[in-house]
């Protein structure tokens, strides 16, 4: 489409919506030229003005009505789960393609769950809605998929260290406020988390589910299986919130079908799309959230043999959770759809 696409963002004033606009503002995505832009948010945020490429836009009040989204080609919804369940069908019923960043649609059998570097063909069968994975799932999938293609993975053990921006603006401000209070000799007050997050780590993300797993851990397990098309893939996850503003980190132990030397894994990762290999431990060079923040790649380092298993490797994976974990992945999905002419599809009716 030479003149560009009509793009909407629902949740435009949130962290993911802002990152989405920031990435498009920076250019570098020729497959998603923007002809018009419409921004939506709650009544509390409606009326705010946002500058994009030198033009000022007024944020509109979001309503889950197909008529509001008619004329748009692509819409990003970055909303709570219960809102996403009514907004995504309304967007699809309007004839637009929605990439939804909530957990509402990820495990729906009729909705593709897409990471373009991993399972791009799944996007072809959309019905107006494509789910974006959880941010911690996305970075692990990008890093492990090229290894899995060469040597099937039989088991994954992952421990995540997740930044507070994954919770939202209020959690970011809480970490900042708690840090300031503690430095001033005061007391840190916890609102967004069950405990103080400053100078602490909390092994709880999401609600507690069956098997004493928190929901974030279930997401890592179930979403990875769906994206990889391996429904019985053995995965164990422990997810931890850490006092970092931006950037999720993961310690991953992988069991393969056959032994894989670290040198082979490094060569595969160095050539993999979306991956940046930073692996010189003797020089203290390895991925860190401070370096990944504001950047596109999924960074991988500390690639080494797992001394506990003859077919095992250990890796350290880091990425900007707002960028590749959310906003950039959505942009790449839109580009994939546009590049292949996959916009058309059976549409869901609005609820």
Indicate the pTM of the whole model. Answer: 0.95
Instruction: Return d(Cα 256, Cα 70) in angstroms, integer.
Output: 48
Question: Is the backbone of residue 341 left (phi > 0), alpha (psi -120 to 50) or beta?
Answer: left
Q: Is the pLDDT of residue 349 over 90?
A: no
CA atoms of 62 and 329, how far apart (whole Å):
23
Same domain as 124, residue 147: no
The reply to whether 181 and 312 lie within a common domain is: yes
d(CA 262, CA 251): 16
CATH for 233 = 3.30.360.10
Is residue 52, in this structure, part of any structural domain at all?
yes
Same domain for 98 and 217, yes or no, is: no
- In the predicted model, what is the mean pLDDT of the chain? 96
Catalytic residue numbers read 135, 248
Domain check: are 92 and 201 in the same one?
no
CATH assignment at residue 336: 3.40.50.720
Considering the domain architecture, whether residues 202 and 150 belong to the same structural domain is answered as: yes
Domain count, the chain: 2
Host domain of residue 209: 137-321
Mean pLDDT throughout 257-267?
A: 98
Per-residue pLDDT of 128-172, as tens digits, reads 999 999 999 999 999 999 999 999 999 999 999 999 999 999 999
Q: Are residues 261 and 161 in the same domain?
A: yes
Helices assigned H by DSSP within the chain? 15-25, 66-69, 81-93, 135-150, 169-183, 215-228, 262-270, 289-292, 328-340
pLDDT band at residue 348, thresholds of 50, 70 and 90? very low
Q: Are residues 117 and 253 in the same domain?
A: no
Asked if 128 and 193 sit in the same domain, the reply is no
Residue 289 lies in a domain: yes
Residues 44 and 67 in one domain: yes
Task: Kindly report, residue by residue over 212-244, the tens digit of the pLDDT.
Answer: 999 999 999 999 999 999 999 999 999 999 999
- Give the Cα separation of 160 and 82 in Å (integer): 26
214 and 310, same domain (yes or no): yes
């Amino acid at each position: 489409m030479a003149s560009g696409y009509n793009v909407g963002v629902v949740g435009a004033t949130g962290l993911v919506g802002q990152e989405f606009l920031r990435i498009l503002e920076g250019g570098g995505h020729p497959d998603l030229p923007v002809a018009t832009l419409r921004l939506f948010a709650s009544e509390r945020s409606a009326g705010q003005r946002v500058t994009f490429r030198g033009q000022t836009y007024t944020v509109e009040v979001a309503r889950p009505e197909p008529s509001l989204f008619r004329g748009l080609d692509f819409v990003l919804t970055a909303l709570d789960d219960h809102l996403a369940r009514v907004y995504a069908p309304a967007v699809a019923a309007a004839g637009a393609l929605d990439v939804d960043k909530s957990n509402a649609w990820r495990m729906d059998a009729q909705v593709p769950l897409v990471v373009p570097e991993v399972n791009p063909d799944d996007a072809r069968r959309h019905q107006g809605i494509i789910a974006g994975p959880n941010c911690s799932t996305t970075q692990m999938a990008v890093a492990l998929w090229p290894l899995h293609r060469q040597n099937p993975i039989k088991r994954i053990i992952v421990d995540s260290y997740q930044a507070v921006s994954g919770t939202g603006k209020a959690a970011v401000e809480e970490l900042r406020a708690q840090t300031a209070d503690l430095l001033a000799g005061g007391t840190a007050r916890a609102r967004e988390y069950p405990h103080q997050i400053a100078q602490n780590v909390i092994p709880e993300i999401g609600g507690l589910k069956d098997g004493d797993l928190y929901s974030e851990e279930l997401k890592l397990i179930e979403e990875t299986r769906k994206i990889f098309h391996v429904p019985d893939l053995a995965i164990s996850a422990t997810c931890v919130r850490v006092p970092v503003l931006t950037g999720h980190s993961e310690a991953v132990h992988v069991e393969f079908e056959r032994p894989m030397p670290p040198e082979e894994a490094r060569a595969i990762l160095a050539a993999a799309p979306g991956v940046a290999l930073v692996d010189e431990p003797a020089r203290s060079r390895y991925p860190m959230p401070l370096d990944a923040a504001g950047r596109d790649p999924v960074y991988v380092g500390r690639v080494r043999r797992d001394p506990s298993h003859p077919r095992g490797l250990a890796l350290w994976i880091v990425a900007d959770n707002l960028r590749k974990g959310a906003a950039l992945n959505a942009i790449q999905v839109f580009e994939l759809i546009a590049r292949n002419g996959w916009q058309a599809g059976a549409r869901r009716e609005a609820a």
